[in-house]
Amino acid sequence: GFSVLIGVFDSGHGGLTVLRALVDAAPTRPFVYLGDHGAAPYGPRDEEDIHRLTLRGMEHLFDQGCRLVVIACNTAAAVSLRRLQQEWLPTAYPGRNVLGVLVPMVEAITRVPWMIDTVPPDHLAEPRTVGVFATLATVKSGSFPREIGKRAPSVRVVQQACPDLVPLIERGAPDSELAPAVAGYVAALIDRLEGQSLDTVVLGCTHYPLVAHLFSAALPPGVEILSQPLLSARSLEQYLDRHPEYRPEPGETGLRFFTTGSAPLVSELAGRFFGHPTPFERLSP
């Protein structure tokens, strides 16, 4: 038999929140995680830079034997996913595929039928107004409004970049420091709605699930908060069901963690995002 490894790519360790959900959904499947700590953060970089780094990450994972890679980083997916799928993959790695966290979010918002059972029943109607919180690069790329607009042109999308949040989360700031920052971004987004009510928000950055409770406290009651790790896991499950060629051989399991940064440092930091120890190995260039 052949090995059907699935790769998970992120700019750092935030994507471990997504890997956690993928492993919970498919505990017997082998995954390889790659965090590009040597180049993180991606959020403040320009598009060419992000595309070049994301492409290099894909090459590393495909060369490790991955048949399928999930881009867990919103910034990388927002800037690069369509370009990789359309311009690069078919000629560079025919027969392999790249999925990105952005797509399940857009499908959930626009109520693609298989997503219906993943949203609360009182929210079944397509939302009218969606708020997106993300990094600067994700907001600038316009990918969320563009992809939502393709499927559901009547949905209004309002974006808010939250550049202070990742540094605060990274250094483990207490809620007393994080809450005012989150509240400020929520207020800024609501200001730009001009009185229209908000139905759904997307936490469009790997780090924001860690402060979902603060978003929930700062948002008006009744606003649906979409969970990226959960939606990504459902989406991958659906994808794997439709693609039996990705079925692993029985007994084929395992989980490996690679970083382009310092393995001891990253192993120390990353456990908090995964909920289990994460013994990172340095990716040999």
The site for ligand NHL (CB under 6 A) is made up of: 10-12, 14, 37, 40-43, 73-75, 135, 138, 166, 170, 205-207
**Left (φ > 0), alpha (ψ -120 to 50) or beta: where does 65 sit?**
left
We find the least distance from the C-beta atom of residue 16 to ligand NHL, in angstroms, to be 10
Q: How far apart are CA 140 and CA 161, in angstroms?
A: 9
Task: Give CA–CA dist 194/129, Å, rounded.
Answer: 12
What's the min distance (Å) between Cβ of 137 and ligand NHL? 7
CA angle, residues 198, 223, 19, in degrees to nearest 5: 115
Name which of 5 and 134 has its Cβ closer to ligand NHL.
134
Question: Rounded to an integer, what distance in angstroms lies between the CA atom of residue 81 and that of residue 98?
Answer: 8
The active-site residue out of 50, 72, 73, 181 is 73
Distance CA 100, CA 90 (A): 16
Query: Is 205 among the residues known to form the active site?
Result: yes
Burial degree of 185 (CB within 10 A; 0-12, 13-18, 19+) = buried
Catalytic residue among 106, 205, 226, 233: 205
CB of 50 to ligand NHL, least distance (A): 9
The answer to whether 127 and 156 are in contact (CB under 8 A) is no
Give, rounded to a whole angstrom, the gap between the first and last alpha carbons of the chain: 28
The answer to whether 66 is a known catalytic residue is no
Q: Please identify, using beta-carbon distances, which residue of 135 and 160 lies nearer to ligand NHL.
A: 135
Q: How far is the CB of 67 from ligand NHL (least distance, A)?
A: 23
**Residue whose CB is less far from ligand NHL, 7 or 41:** 41
> Measured between alpha carbons, how far is 185 from 207 in angstroms, rounded to an integer?
15
Q: Which residue is nearest to ligand NHL (CB)?
A: 12
Tokens describing residue 235: 């989406």
In eight-state DSSP terms, residue 36 is -
**CB-wise, 67 or 147, nearer to ligand NHL?**
147
Nearer of residues 45 and 234 to ligand NHL, judged by Cβ: 45
Contacts of residue 3, Cβ cutoff 8 Å, sequence gap at least 6 = 30, 65, 248, 249, 252
**Residue 251 beta carbon to ligand NHL: minimum distance, rounded to whole angstroms:** 33
Of the pair 6, 71, the CB lying nearest ligand NHL is at 71
Q: Tokens in use for 39?
A: 């180049």
Residues classed as catalytic: 73, 205
